[in-house]
């Protein structure tokens, strides 16, 4: 049974041209939020039924997601959600830290009081969330925080590069394994980043962002490594 996703298209087929775009968006969200887990087989018939559309736009959506490297097609098995091992994820987080650290440095030179306040409000919302009660909410609020900084950095090319390495690790829903202490550490990093941005301290903002991402990297990679080792015994 495929994870249920919200239907956004009307029952008639008036917007056929946009159906594949809508299907791509919904399937992408389900993958990023972990409702379609790594290694999960993606059957066109099931996805089309859940989305309330024909198989053609679903097929096109899966091709788009292959180009984004969220989905992989293999002979005799069809499309599946891409699986990354611990080494892949380590490399992705190393790259993410470099790119997003630089984005945070740029943001420190451009951020307004209104944007700082937006980030503070995000921190307030994040403090009230927990993975056990609302994992999707945690993932979405974390994305909002990081994406806001990217928007302030004001570089379309940088944003595209960062989002490519942000979304792939999120497939593994690293917050699923966060303890209460780890959530508080993550929240503390967010507030320290906001303080550095508000102070216009580009060096410190970049440094804290990198430390924040390395902390997340170590937790996620250790967990995925333990899963790999268990499967090999």
Statement: residue 27 has pLDDT above 60: yes
Band the pLDDT of 3: cuts 50, 70, 90.
low
Statement: residue 9 has pLDDT above 70: no
Residue predicted with more confidence, 206 or 35: 206
User: Residue 164 CB: number of other CB atoms within 10 A?
Assistant: 15
pLDDT at residue 4, as a whole number: 55
Three-state SS letters, 23-71? HHHHHHHHHHCCCCCCCCECCHHHHHHHHCCCHHHHHHHHHHHHHCCCE
pLDDT at residue 68, as a whole number: 87
| Least confident interval from 28-32, 119-123, 145-149 | 28-32
Residue 208 burial by Cβ neighbours in a 10 Å radius (0-12, 13-18, 19+)? buried
Q: 163-222 pLDDT, tens per residue?
A: 888 877 777 777 777 888 899 999 999 999 999 999 999 999 999 999 999 999 998 898
Characterize the bridge pairing of strands 71-74 and 78-81. Answer: antiparallel
Statement: residue 18 has pLDDT above 60: yes
184: part of which helix (H) or strand (E)?
helix 180-198
Band the pLDDT of 99: cuts 50, 70, 90.
very high
What are the beta bridge partners of residue 123? none
Q: 111-133 pLDDT, tens per residue?
A: 999 999 999 999 999 999 998 88
For the chain, give the mean pLDDT. 88
pLDDT at residue 157, as a whole number: 94
Band the pLDDT of 84: cuts 50, 70, 90.
confident
């Amino acid at each position: 049974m495929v994870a249920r996703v919200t239907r956004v298209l009307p029952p008639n087929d008036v917007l056929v041209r946009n159906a594949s775009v809508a299907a791509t968006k919904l399937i992408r969200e389900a993958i990023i939020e972990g409702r379609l887990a790594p290694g999960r087989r993606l059957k066109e018939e099931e996805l089309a039924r859940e989305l309330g559309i024909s198989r053609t736009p679903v097929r096109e959506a899966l091709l788009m997601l292959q180009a984004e490297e969220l989905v992989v097609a293999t002979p005799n098995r069809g499309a599946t959600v891409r699986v990354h091992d611990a080494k892949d994820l380590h490399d992705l987080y190393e790259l993410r830290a470099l790119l997003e650290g630089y984005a945070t440095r740029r943001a420190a030179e451009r951020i307004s009081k209104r944007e700082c306040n937006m980030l503070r409000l995000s921190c307030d919302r994040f403090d009230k969330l927990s993975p056990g009660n609302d994992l999707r909410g945690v993932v979405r609020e974390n994305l909002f925080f990081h994406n806001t900084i990217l928007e302030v950095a004001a570089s379309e090319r940088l944003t595209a590069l960062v989002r490519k390495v942000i979304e792939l690790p999120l497939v593994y829903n690293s917050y699923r394994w966060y303890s209460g202490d780890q959530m508080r550490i993550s929240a503390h990093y967010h507030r320290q980043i906001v303080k550095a941005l508000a102070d216009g301290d580009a060096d410190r903002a970049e440094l804290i962002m990198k430390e924040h991402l390395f902390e997340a990297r170590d937790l996620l990679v250790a967990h995925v490594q333990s899963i790999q080792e268990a499967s090999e015994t």
